[in-house]
Amino acid sequence: MKKVIVILLLAALGFYLGTTFFNIGFGDPHFANGVKDFYLKETVDNLHVSNTVTSIVVNFRGFDTLGEVTVLFLAVTALGSILYKRRHEVGTRSVLFSSSSVVTAGSKLLFPAVILLGVYVFVHGHLSPGGGFQGGVIIATGFLLMLLSYENYSVSHKWLSIVESLAGIVFAGVGLLGFINGGTFLQNFLPTGVLNNLFSGGVIPIIYIAVGFKVAAELTGVIYTVLHEKGVK
């Protein structure tokens, strides 16, 4: 009975959404064109950043990204406090995998390459697809690989929180420096350089490197916390 009601509801919703979006048409210009043209022109003429998405996320909507990073931090803190355990319960892993020697040797070999790829992605965030969030996630997958292949591989919580706090301080500090030099919070105050060079875009690479470290530390912390969750007997 419940299933029938749900399916009828979803059919109505699907019909409504479908007719709405099929009338819009795929590939037609249906947003106000001025906004897009302004962003594209401003990005290439004044900021000298290749990746327009990066310039929107970090420069035009930088304050929003600071809020986003704060939401991520809050989510990780909430996860840690919901899964809180007393000291004597900590230490044993509930999720254990007996991995073969091929997996352990291979993951040891692959781990530096994964970290290098993550660093590349967030350092080149203003030149190519990618950025701080994506690079951070790639680094966290490297740590996930190590945690899955070695039973007693451990990550220091102290170092994770130090890296995370420092990266957050760098982000907010760059914003405050912009406030002192340029007049508004997160204003660009460094020379923007030449388009398509590694050292271009002013503060955008600095902020994205900080975001990359922060996201990597937070996601590694999440993986570590959840893997050490003890099952119910």
Partner 1 sequence: MDSSLFQLLNYGVYGTAILVMLIGLYGALVKKSLLKVVIGLSVMESGLNLLIVALGYLKGGTAPIFSEGFLNGSNKIMVDPVPQALVLTAIVIGFGVTAVALSLVIRLYRHHGTLNIDEIRNLKW
Options 62, 66, 76, 217; binder of partner 1; rule CB under 8 A: 76
Question: Which CB atom, from 61 or from 93, has the smaller least distance to partner 1?
Answer: 61
**13: contact with partner 1 by CB under 8 A:** yes
Distance spanning both ends of the chain, measured CA to CA: 36
d(CA 34, CA 151): 55
Q: Which of 182, 156, 189, 186 is nearest to 171 (CA)?
A: 186
Options 8, 46, 51, 216; binder of partner 1; rule CB under 8 A: 51
The residues in 90-119 that bind partner 1, with binding defined as CB under 8 A, are: none
Give, for 73, the enclosing helix (H) or strand (E): helix 62-82
Question: Which CB atom, from 25 or from 183, has the smaller least distance to partner 1?
Answer: 25
59: exposed, middle or buried (Cβ count in 10 Å: 0-12, 13-18, 19+): buried
User: What six digits make up the tokens of 215?
Assistant: 């996201």
Q: Hey, what's the torsion of the CAs at 148, 149, 153, 156, to 10 degrees?
A: -40
**1: contact with partner 1 by CB under 8 A:** no
Options 71, 105, 176, 198; binder of partner 1; rule CB under 8 A: 71
**22: contact with partner 1 by CB under 8 A:** yes
∠ Cα 228 76 81 (to 5°): 65
Q: Where are the beta strands (DSSP E) in 150-202?
A: none
d(CA 34, CA 84): 50
Report, in Å, the least distance between residue 51 CB and partner 1. 5
Options 57, 114, 121, 123; binder of partner 1; rule CB under 8 A: 57
d(CA 24, CA 44): 30
Question: Which CB atom, from 24 or from 109, has the smaller least distance to partner 1?
Answer: 24
**198: contact with partner 1 by CB under 8 A:** no
By rule CB under 8 A, what string of x and - marks binding of each residue 152-191 to partner 1?
Answer: ----------------------------------------
Q: Which residues contact partner 1 (rule: CB under 8 A)?
A: 2-3, 6-7, 10, 13-14, 17-18, 21-22, 24-31, 35-36, 39-40, 43-44, 50-53, 56-57, 61, 64-65, 68, 71-72, 74-76, 78-79, 82-83, 127-129, 131, 133, 195-196, 222, 226, 229, 232
